[in-house]
Amino acid sequence: MRRDTGSLTRTSRGAFAVLLLMVVGLAVPSIALAEGQPVDEGIHTSDRFTPAQGCACHAEFVSQWGMSLHSQASFNPTFEAKLDEAEPATRELIEDFCRSCHGPVAYMTGELGMAAEDMTGASADSIGCSFCHQVTGTDEPIANLSQRVEADGVYRGGLDDPQAPHPARTSEFHRSAEFCGGCHNVNHPVNGLALEATYTEWLNSPQAEEGITCQDCHMSEAPGVVGPTPGRVAAMGPEREEIHRMTFWGAHVERGNADAAVQMLRAAATLTVEVPDVLAEGPGEGVVQVTNSGAGHYLPTGLTDVRQMWLEVLVVDAQGTETEIARQAFGTVFKDAEGQYPAQIWDAVAVQSDIRVPPMESVPVTFTASLPEGAESGTIVARLKYTSITDKLAEAAGRENPVTLMSEISQPIYASPEAKQAAERVDGGLMGIDTGTLAMALGALVAVVAAAIGILVLRKRKSAGA
Ligand code: HEC
Ligand code: HEC
Ligand code: HEC
Ligand code: HEC
C-alpha cells in the first residue's frame, strides 16, 4: 500500500514537473521570438499572400524579380531533373523537403508540387514579394527554411520610414544576411551535413567583417556594383538616397538574366600568372593564382557539386593553335555511407574533397610550361570558366549549358634571350610611332629646315645686294 501511495505521489510529482516543463517550454520561444511562426506545411490559405502582379506600384521591382531565379524556383526543369535522379523511394522522402524551400508559399498553402495553373494566389510566384516581406525573423540554426512568417498583411522591409498605402513596418532583419541565410544554407535533413553553405561562407568572410551583406551585392543597381544607391522604391514614392532593388543578380546565364549573370561572373575573380619568360633550359614551372576578388562567399558557392568552375592553362603558338598543359576543377565532391563518391546530396554523409576559392583569397594552380615544337616563342594563356550545371544534368533537363569566360590572362614565353630581344624589337617597332608616320614627320622636318635655309640665303643675298 505504502509503496503504491509512494509511487502515486512520485507519479503526480512527475506529471507536475512535465506540465511545468511544457509551460516553460512553450513560454520560452514565445518570449525569445516575439513574432511569426515557423514555415510549415498547410498552415495558411493562399489569400494571405498577394501575388506579385498585385504589387504594381513597385512595377520596376516586379519586373526585376520576374527576371530573377526566385520567380522560377518551383518550376525549374533542372530542379525537376535532379529530383528525378533520386530513386523513387528516396524521392518520396525528400521531395517535400526540396520543394518547400523552392516554393515556401505553396508549402504553407498545401499546394506543393501542383502545376502552376492549378495553384492559387502567390503559390505560383515560387519565392515572391509577399513571402519575403512577411518574414519576421529566423529560428536557429539558420538553414533549411528557418525563417518565421507572420501572414498578417503587414509588409516588413529595410526602410526606416516606410510611406506605403498598405501596412508596412521597419525590419532590421531584412537588412541582414541572416534573412537570405535561412534558404542559402541547406543541411542534410537527416544527418545535418552542410550541402550548401553560402551563408556560413559569408559569415566567415572579410566582407561580413566590413558589413557588406548579400543585399549589397545581389540587390544593387547593376551587377558588380556593391551597396545601395539613390532611387525610388515605388513609382509614386519619394526619391531616396539609398535603396536596394529586387534584382537578385546571380550566376545563371541560361535561366536568369543572362547579361547580368555574365557581368557577375566577370566581377568575381582575377588571375595572375608567373612563369619564366625565357625557357632556354627546357620546360619551366609556372603558377596561376585564382583570386576570389568579388564574391562574399566561396567560388563557386551554393550547389557546388553541380556548379562547374575550372581553370584551363594552355600554350598557344604563332598560328593560334592551343595545347592544354593544365586543368583544375573547383567544386565539392560528397561521399556516401559506403565511402563511394561522387555521391548525390541525399546519399551524402561527408565531404570527400572541397577545392574552392574562399572570399578574398587565392588558390594556386601549377603547370609546366614548354614551347610548341620547334617554335622560338609562344604564349601561356590561362582561362577561368564557369557553367551552372553539369552537361549530364543539362541533357536530362533538356537545357542549354552555356560556358562563361570569367577571367583570362596571358604571358609570352621564348626559347632564348635572343628570341625575346627580337620579339621586343618587333614589338617596339609596331607599338612605337609607325614608320609611315615617322617618314612623314621626317619629310616635314626636312622641308621646314630647307625653307628656313632658303629664307636665310635669300635674306643674305638681299642684304648683300643692298
Ligand atoms: C527573396 C526575398 C525577396 C523577394 C522575393 C522580394 N523582396 Fe523586396 N526586399 C527584400 C529585402 C531583403 C529588402 C530589403 C533590402 C535592404 O534594405 O537591405 C527588400 C526591399 C524592398 C522594398 C524597399 C522598401 C523596404 O521596405 O526595404 C520594396 C518596396 C520591396 N522590397 C518590394 C518588393 C516587391 C514588390 C517584390 C516582388 C516583385 C519583392 N520586394 C520581392 C526581399 C525580397
Ligand atoms: C561582395 C559581394 C558579394 C556578397 C557579399 C555576396 N555575394 Fe553572392 N555572388 C557574388 C558574385 C560576384 C557572384 C558570382 C560568382 C559566383 O557564382 O560565385 C555571386 C554568386 C552568388 C550565387 C550564385 C552561385 C552560383 O554559382 O550559381 C548565389 C546563390 C549567391 N551569390 C548568394 C549570396 C548570398 C545568399 C549571400 C549572403 C549570404 C551573398 N551571395 C553574398 C557577390 C557577392
Ligand atoms: C525562401 C527561400 C529563399 C530566400 C529567402 C532567398 N533565396 Fe535566393 N534562392 C532560393 C532558391 C531556391 C534559389 C534557386 C532558384 C532556382 O534556381 O530555380 C535561389 C536563387 C538565388 C540566386 C540566383 C543564383 C544563380 O545561380 O543565379 C541569388 C543571387 C539569390 N538567390 C540571392 C538571394 C539573396 C541575396 C537573398 C536575400 C535577400 C535570397 N536569395 C533569399 C531561395 C531563397
Ligand atoms: C533550404 C532551401 C533549399 C532546399 C531545402 C533545397 N534547395 Fe535546391 N536550391 C536552393 C538554393 C538557395 C539554390 C540556389 C543556389 C545556387 O545558385 O548555388 C538551389 C538550387 C537548386 C538547383 C539548381 C537549379 C539550376 O537550374 O541550376 C537544383 C537542381 C536544386 N536546388 C535541387 C534541389 C533538390 C533536389 C533538393 C532536395 C534534395 C533541394 N534543391 C533542396 C535552396 C534549397
Q: How far is the CA of 79 from the centre of ligand 4 (A)?
A: 7
Of the residues 70, 129, 146, which should be mutated to test ligand 3's pocket, given the most ligand atoms within 8 Å of the CB? 70
Q: Measured from the CA of 301, which atom of ligand 4 is nearest? A: 18
In angstroms, the Cα distances linking 434 to 201, 284, 328, 419 are 53, 35, 42, 22
Ligand nearest to the CA of 305: 4
Q: How far is the CA of 157 from the centre of ligand 1 (A)?
A: 6
Residue 262 lies in a domain: no
Alpha-carbon span 462 to 459, nearest angstrom: 5
CATH code for the domain of 281: 2.60.40.1470
Torsion angle (degrees, nearest 10) of CA 152, 157, 163, 165: -30
Return the residue whose CA atom lies nearest to atom 39 of ligand 2: 214
Residues 216 and 114 in one domain: yes
Residues 100 and 12 in one domain: no
Residues 21 and 81 in one domain: no
Residue 259 lies in a domain: no
Q: How far is the CA of 250 from the centre of ligand 3 (A)?
A: 8
**Residue 441: per-residue pLDDT:** 59
Q: What is the pLDDT along the chain (466 residues), one digit of tens a residue?
A: 333 333 333 334 444 444 444 444 444 444 344 589 999 999 999 999 999 999 999 999 999 999 999 999 999 999 999 999 998 889 989 999 999 999 999 999 999 999 999 999 999 999 999 999 999 999 999 999 999 999 999 999 999 999 999 999 999 999 999 999 999 999 999 999 999 999 999 999 999 999 999 999 999 999 999 999 999 999 999 999 999 999 999 999 999 999 999 999 999 999 999 999 999 999 999 999 999 999 999 999 999 999 999 999 999 999 999 999 999 999 999 999 999 999 999 999 999 999 999 999 999 999 999 998 889 999 999 999 999 999 999 999 999 999 999 999 999 999 999 999 999 888 765 554 545 455 555 656 666 666 666 556 556 555 544 3
Return the residue whose CA atom lies nearest to atom 27 of ligand 2: 251
**Residue 456: per-residue pLDDT:** 61
Q: Are 288 and 315 in contact (CB under 8 A)?
A: no
Return the residue whose CA atom lies nearest to atom 5 of ligand 4: 98
- Domain of 15? 1-30
Neighbouring residues of 142: CB distance < 8 A, sequence distance ≥ 6: 178, 181, 182, 185, 199
Residues 43 and 190 in one domain: yes
Cell reading at 223:
551587377
**Residue 427: per-residue pLDDT:** 75
**Residue 432: per-residue pLDDT:** 46
Cis bond before residue 372 (omega within 30° of 0): no
Q: How far is the CA of 395 from the centre of ligand 2 (A)?
A: 26
DSSP-assigned letters across all residues of 108-139: HTT-TT--GGG--GGGGGSS-HHHHTTEEEE-
Residue 256 lies in a domain: no
Provide the H-helix boundaries in 399-434. Answer: 417-431
Alpha-carbon span 71 to 211, nearest angstrom: 27
**Residue 372: per-residue pLDDT:** 85
Number of domains the chain contains = 4
Return the residue whose CA atom lies nearest to atom 3 of ligand 3: 183
Specify the 3-state DSSP secondary structure of 155. strand
Phi (first) and psi of residue 241, to 5 degrees = -75, -35
**Residue 60: per-residue pLDDT:** 97
Residues 85 and 198 in one domain: yes
**Domain end among 194, 218, 249:** 249
User: What pTM did the predictor assign?
Assistant: 0.89
Phi (first) and psi of residue 17, to 5 degrees = -60, -40
Torsion angle (degrees, nearest 10) of CA 135, 139, 140, 141: -50
412 DSSP assignment: E
Q: Is 3 left (phi over 0), alpha (psi -120 to 50) or beta?
A: alpha
Return the residue whose CA atom lies nearest to atom 38 of ligand 4: 98
Residues 41 and 26 in one domain: no
- State if residue 177 touches ligand 1 by the CB under 6 angstroms criterion: no
Residue 162 lies in a domain: yes
- State if residue 217 touches ligand 1 by the CB under 6 angstroms criterion: no
Residues 457 and 331 in one domain: no
Residue 425 lies in a domain: no
In whole angstroms, how large is the CA radius of gyration of the chain? 32
Q: Are 402 and 359 in contact (CB under 8 A)?
A: no
Ligand 3 pocket (Cβ < 6 Å) reads 69-70, 72-73, 76, 79, 101-102, 104, 127, 132, 179-180, 182-184, 214-215, 218, 248, 250-252, 256, 388
Residue for grid cell 520543394: 99
For the chain, what is the largest distance between any 2 Cα atoms, rounded to a whole number of angstroms?
157
Residues 244 and 284 in one domain: no
Cell reading at 191:
544527418
**Residue 11: per-residue pLDDT:** 37
- State if residue 69 touches ligand 4 by the CB under 6 angstroms criterion: no
Which amino acid is it at 191?
N
Residues 276 and 363 in one domain: yes
Residues 170 and 221 in one domain: yes
**Residue 3: per-residue pLDDT:** 37
Phi (first) and psi of residue 234, to 5 degrees = -145, 150
Alpha-carbon span 314 to 323, nearest angstrom: 5
Ligand nearest to the CA of 97: 4
Residue 263 lies in a domain: no
Residue 161 lies in a domain: yes
Ligand 2 pocket (Cβ < 6 Å) reads 177, 180-181, 184, 198-199, 202, 207, 212, 214, 216-218, 226, 250-252, 264-265, 267-268, 294-297, 299-302, 307, 388
Alpha-carbon span 243 to 234, nearest angstrom: 11
Residue 46 lies in a domain: yes
Alpha-carbon span 445 to 449, nearest angstrom: 6
Residues 24 and 41 in one domain: no
Residues 287 and 153 in one domain: no
